[in-house]
Structure 1
Amino acid sequence: MSLLFLTTGGTIDKLYFDALSEYQIGDSVVERILRTARVALPFRVAELMRKDSLELTDADRATIRTAVEGAPETRIVITHGTDTMTDTARALAGMAAAGKTVVLVGALAPARFAESDATFNLGLAVATAQVAAPGVWIAMNGTVFDGAKVRKDRSINSFVAA
């Protein structure tokens, strides 16, 4: 079994610049996290884009879908911003029929921050990608959600079953 990690940007890869008082998306931290965790499973990381999920377009989602469909791997983790993660999950509908297990994951705080949920969420996504049935899943907040039956509850800053 081999895993593919597709990076799209989002908070997980954000940097903070004090002089600018804003976040910018930097190089992906996914491979560093996987190496630090000593993930022994074969994997590869491919960067698709560096965007905040609020900036993702239908064309971007089509690019993500094309990358998933064209990948030789059947188990794929996509790092993604949390604000529109559910939109991308819906755009990936039908992966079960293609025999693909796709797990979207993100973070509510950048991975570069000490108090980030990124490492935990990515670990959950790695485990989910290995054992979940083909389909589209979201791994966030210690829970695995069906990608078609989840929403982000902004009032509690967490994902909940829909």
Structure 2
Amino acid sequence: MIILGIDPGYGRMGWAVVRNGRTLELIAAGCIETTSDLAHAKRLSQIAIEVRELLETHRPDRVVIEQLLFTKNQTTGIAVAEARGVVLAVAGAFNTDVVEVGPMQVKQAVTGYGHADKRQVQEMVARLLNLKKAPTPDDAADACAIAIAGSHR
């Protein structure tokens, strides 16, 4: 099974493609980045285009996306929620199975402890994917963890 993990973001959205076979294998990881000089609609459109390219290139069986926590900065939270909605819409257009996971579920799936810190999660991502170190930037490593969590469902 091919899984596309998404760490939702507006300025930077992490993504990772993981194959779940006898072992977990990282196929590719990276970030979709939008710049603040673009209009809001253009930034969301850029996210849609790049997510569509990921789906066309890797043909995942499942898209796993992290649920949002409530944020103190409502403007940022709304923009991230809109970016997340773009991903869900594109995945829906491709008729791809979508799984939503919470941050604690991700930590639990990757480390066995729902309150693990970022360093612990990154160390386990590297181990589970048989890498020397977790992918960078952190958003890509987080997307790997999200994909791993989705492989357990």
Higher helix fraction (1 or 2): 2
Q: Do the structures match in fold with TM over 0.5?
A: no
Looking at both structures, which has the greater relative contact order when contacts are Cα pairs under 8 Å and sequence separation is at least 6? 2
TM-score norm. by structure 1 comes to 0.37
User: Which of the two has greater strand per residue?
Assistant: 1
